[in-house]
Amino acid sequence: MASAIELRGVTKRFLTPSGGVYTALHDLDLAVEPGEFCAVVGPTGCGKSTTLALISGLEPASEGEVEVFGKPVRGIASGIGYVFQSDAVFPWKTVLENVAAGPRYHGSSTRDARAAAREWIARVGLAGFADRYPYQLSGGMRKRVALAQSLINGPQILLMDEPFSALDVQTRSLMENELLSLWSSTSASVVFVTHDLEEAISMSDRVFVITAAPGTVKSNYRVDLPRPRNVAEIRFQPRFTEIYEEIWNDLRDEVLVSYERQKRSGAA
């Protein structure tokens, strides 16, 4: 069976403002099976977000191939959802209009789009907030809006870029559980970028460790913890600790490399 997402020998270079070339990703291979929940962890600035930009088609790869369901990615394809790290809900639209945006852009009538949006708003627990503007919501509620906004399009692939990093710890584990239960009712493959190894393990089937920049996949681990999971409690299982230690041994070196580099460039 074809992988949902496949990156083969992908390199991504950016031009820096000073005219130099910065290699964010180098010869990266990564495959995600249909319906799989994958986490991508790595030190800051290792190109985790770039990986998502390549899969979504927001950025083209400099070298190598990016395929989604066996087809090469050329520009933004439909069937992809993307939840951004910072708030990307439209501040001038109400919750209802924000969630209804996707179907409307895909040609639904305003009425159908709104009906579908109301359903999704209820599903993410925001019924009664449909007419609010984003500034009137808490950070966690805005994330729910972003989730509903992405999921309403019925994506086959859901890309998430540290979506919960700005939330407080309690809201965060609530949202993680909610994401898992929403995801379990779909068949979407998820690529979940995070710098938090605990979050990565507790949510995913597979964890990719990316090296310090230029990023490439250092190793990947299967997480054989049973589902359905409760992210707040799964951390206490002995198996969780085992997996954590295993992956952390890998990740630690990369984090140290990245840290040393930052210190040096800070001193220079």
Partner 1 sequence: MNVRSAAARLRAPVSAPVEPKARAGIDLTSTRARDVRRRRLAVLGLQLLVAVVWLGSWEVTTRLGWVDKFFFAQPSEIALKLWTWFTQGTELGPLWDQVLTTMEETVGGFIVGSLFGVVFGVALGRIRLLADVLSPYIKAANAIPRVVVGALFAISLGLDIKSKIATAAILVFFVVFFNAFQGVREVDRNLIANARILGAGNRRLTTEVILPSALSWITASLHTSFGLALVGAVVGELFGATSGVGELIYSAKNNFDADGVFAGMALLAAIALVAEALITALETRLVRWRPQVNTEARI
Number of residues located near partner 1, criterion CB under 8 A: 27
Cα–Cα distance for residue pair 149/143, rounded to 1 Å: 10
* Of 254, 74, 80, 52, nearest in space to 157 by CA: 80
Q: Is 222 in the site for partner 1 (CB under 8 A)?
A: no
Residues of span 27-56 touching partner 1 by CB under 8 A:
56
Nearer to partner 1, 155 or 215 (CB): 155
The C-alpha atoms of residue 191 and residue 161 are separated, in whole angstroms, by 8
* Residue 156 makes contact with partner 1 by CB under 8 A: no
SS3 206: strand
153 and 81 Cβ atoms separated by less than 8 Å: yes
91 binds partner 1 (CB under 8 A): yes
Angle between helix 139-151 and 95-105 (nearest 10): 20
Query: Residue length, the chain?
Result: 268
Task: For residue 181, state whether it binds partner 1 (rule: CB under 8 A).
Answer: no
Nearer to partner 1, 78 or 241 (CB): 78
Does 194 interact with partner 1 (rule: CB under 8 A)? no
Question: Is 88 near partner 1 (CB under 8 A)?
Answer: yes
Q: Which of 19, 92, 236, 265 lies at the binding interface for partner 1 (CB under 8 A)?
A: 92
Using CB under 8 A, which of 78, 138, 181, 184 touches partner 1?
78
Q: What stretch of H or E contains 38?
A: strand 37-41
User: Closest Cα partner for 207 from 253, 163, 217?
Assistant: 217
Binding track over 106-145 against partner 1, x by CB under 8 A? x--------------------------xxx----------
Determine the interface stretch with partner 1 among 13-21, 39-47, 111-119, 149-157 (rule: CB under 8 A). 149-157
Burial of 93 (0-12, 13-18, 19+ CB in 10 A): middle
Among 8, 13, 93, 235, binds partner 1 (CB under 8 A): 93
d(CA 86, CA 134): 13
Tell me how far, at minimum, the Cβ of 138 lies from partner 1, in Å. 14
| Binding status of residue 149 toward partner 1 by CB under 8 A | yes
d(Cα 94, Cα 85) in Å, to the nearest integer?
20
Residues that bind partner 1 (CB under 8 A): 56, 58, 76, 78, 80-82, 84, 86-94, 101-102, 105-106, 133-135, 149-150, 153
